[in-house]
A and B are shown apart, each in its own frame.
Chain A
Amino acid sequence: MTLELRDVTKTFSDDASSGVRNVSLRLPEGQLTALLGPSGAGKTTAMRLIAGLLAPDSGDILLDGTSILPLPPERRGIVLVFQNALLFPHMSLAENVAFGLKMRGLPRDETARRVAEMLDLVQLTGLGSRRPHELSGGQLQRGALARALVLKPRLMLLDEPLSSLDVALREDMRDLIRHLQRATGVTLLMVTHDQSEAVALADRIALMMAGRLIQEAGPDEIFQRPNSVATARFFGGTNFLPGRADKGRFISSLGPLVLPPGQPNGPGVLTIRPEAVQLVDGSGDVRAQVTEKLFLGSQTRVRLLADGVPLTALVAPDRAEALSPGSWIGVRLPTHALWVLPAPAAD
């Protein structure tokens, strides 16, 4: 199963923020792709277009090379799992899970067998007779997954599957989604606004902003080698230094810095992830003054000013213990962690 979006556009006259514009995307078979972006980026619209709950203004959506646009939602073989589970309140959990099979007219005994199997798989064994109002948030969400997976869909869409759960449940649910995906081999597309969720779960990440697809890559790549300042910022990037790359060096107000090989020459923005910035006792690459220190638990965030350039470092708490606002420290910017982004187009 391969899903492909070709130059899909859908805009709303009454809501300029949530449309999608010229999105092209391919979902690799049997993998989990995260459709990531801030709210209003058009993620949910994209998902509803794929599910058939909306029709695009232009462009095409293909499943295994065939356009699915003429098909109504129930004929696409694509199941959408909504953010708030939405189990039908007038049915038991087992009846909910059996719903799609019943609609397909499957014999009762086979339905019952597959429902029981699926309840086992999502660890809801024995809860089949419960009503939705008798289930916890995590159980509802797992019920919704079971209700979708029991249909053996060609593609399963998850709309913010973790956001309605509290923190303790999220990790369990994350593991379960991973496990279910491996156990069934289903192709998954998950919408989320949480980059850590996307990085932890997805094989591929498609980043959307303001209706456009910004970058599509593996989590490692999109995290370490973003293709724009916007992408880097979305993944928690904080250090951006305008200048130009020239023969393996980056020339900026911090002086020349040696770049890793393979960076193109020309104007650009140098970035380094805050956790890659090192604080050293010597002079380092540059001396900087601490402007703010914030203990975050497992890390401490140190804001610095080096020759008028603001930098942020995330370091182990003991490394930052002796620092306080106003103190001076050496900053090392390791070559392997440097990455040059294209200079933003002049507006």
Chain B
Amino acid sequence: MSRRTRPLLLLAPALVLLGGLFFAGLGLGLVRSFRYMPALGLDTPDLAAYAAILQSGTFLASLGLSLWIAAASTVLASILALGTALLLRETFPGRALIGFLVQLNLTIPHVVGAIGILYLVSQSGSFARLAFAAGLVAVPSDFPPLTHDPLAIGIILTYVWKELPFIALILLANLQAIPPGHEAAARSLGAGRWQVLRHVTLPLLMPGLVAASSLVFAFAFGAYEIPLLLGAHAPEALPVATWRGFTAVDLMHRPEAYAMAMIVALVSAVLLALYASFALPRRARP
């Protein structure tokens, strides 16, 4: 086996999976989004599906909601994860416990978390009843709507709860890879703790933070189960709207669902590319 074929062979399973499932699926979806489905009698590709959804107010509302959910979850989870990672790097009593809780969190599925959030913060949940018992609200349903609400607070809470440990663990690994002298050198050059964080630690962490938060953003933007469980009826998050398009009785809705899926993919790709080029200045790259 030559030195050139060996890596190719080792890569083959991954390439087959990626190429076969991902690119073929994407390609098929793209073709169908152009309303080319001969089985349904659609044999001339056109852009009518795109035109229809871009003109419909519900699609744009769904797109906006999904962007809001993804952006708010990513920003909140990133900031909290940064604090957690910086904290976990120090030694203090209880550090091991916090480290354990953070990792434990990773093992709980999203759906389980969403149900937990539902039990806790919905208008019939534990917090609402506690607030009622404490006399803070007249009836439990006066508790502010945090699930199935237009601001998607329940959804964002679930994502922050679930993705925080994920980002924190990646940042912690990155922190441990920073040569320990850099921060001490900065201190000795006259930088205070915050200046060290702002000018040395954060820039050195940026590649890890961008990678981790990009994954979180893409996931929160495209995932279906949490908005389905905790989202309002209108507008609904884009993945939910897309899935309803696929499962509609009228098969002629399919091209619109495919077009929505394509737009989800395109928006994710463009936003992540912009984010990477903005957050990773040329000099931070190796």
Bound Cα distance from A92 to B206, whole angstroms: 17
Cβ of B185: which chain A residues have Cβ within 8 Å of it? 80, 82, 86, 88
Name which residue of chain A comes closest to B178, CB basis: A89
Scan residues 267-322 of chain A and give those whose CB is less than 8 A from a CB of chain B.
Answer: none
Scan residues 45-59 of chain A and give those whose CB is less than 8 A from a CB of chain B.
Answer: 51-53
Greatest chain A CB density within 10 A among B182, B188, B199 is at B188
Main secondary structure of the interface of B (DSSP, over half): helix
Q: Residues of B within 8 Å of A, CB-based: how many?
A: 21
Knowing A84-B181, A88-B200 are in contact, say whether A104-B283 is a contact too (CB < 8 A): no
Name which residue of chain B comes closest to A90, CB basis: B203
Complex interface bits, B186-197 against A, C-beta within 8 A gives 1, otherwise 0: 111111100100
Cβ of B204: which chain A residues have Cβ within 8 Å of it? 88-90
Give the Cβ gap from A136 to chain B, nearest Cβ, in Å: 18
Greatest chain B CB density within 10 A among A72, A78, A79, A86 is at A86
Query: Is B179 an interface residue, CB under 8 A from the partner?
Result: yes
Bound Cα distance from A102 to B206, whole angstroms: 21
Greatest chain A CB density within 10 A among B190, B191, B199 is at B190
Complex interface bits, A87-113 against B, C-beta within 8 A gives 1, otherwise 0: 011111000000110111000000000
Contact: B189 with A147, CB < 8 Å?
A: yes
Tier of interface size on chain A: 20 to 34
Scan residues 129-172 of chain A and give those whose CB is less than 8 A from a CB of chain B.
Answer: 131, 133, 147-148, 151
B182, B192, B206: the one contacting A86 at CB < 8 Å is B182
B195, B206, B283: the one contacting A91 at CB < 8 Å is B283
Cβ of B179: which chain A residues have Cβ within 8 Å of it? 84, 86
Contact: B283 with A100, CB < 8 Å?
A: no
Bound Cα distance from A90 to B206, whole angstroms: 10
Query: Is A74 an interface residue, CB under 8 A from the partner?
Result: yes
Contact: A99 with B188, CB < 8 Å?
A: no
Which residues in A have some Cβ–Cβ distance to B below 8 Å? Answer: 51-53, 72-74, 78-80, 82, 84, 86, 88-92, 99-100, 102-104, 131, 133, 147-148, 151
Which residues in B have some Cβ–Cβ distance to A below 8 Å? Answer: 179, 181-182, 184-192, 195, 199-200, 203-204, 206, 283-284, 286
23 A-B contacts (beta carbon < 8 Å): A52-B188, A72-B187, A73-B184, A73-B188, A74-B192, A78-B188, A79-B190, A80-B188, A82-B184, A82-B185, A86-B181, A88-B200, A88-B203, A89-B204, A90-B206, A90-B283, A99-B186, A103-B189, A103-B199, A131-B283, A147-B189, A148-B189, A151-B189
Q: A79-B190, A131-B283 are in contact. List 19 more A-B contacts (CB 8 A).
A: A51-B184, A51-B188, A52-B187, A73-B187, A73-B188, A74-B187, A82-B181, A88-B182, A88-B185, A88-B186, A88-B204, A89-B204, A92-B283, A99-B191, A100-B189, A100-B191, A103-B189, A103-B190, A147-B189
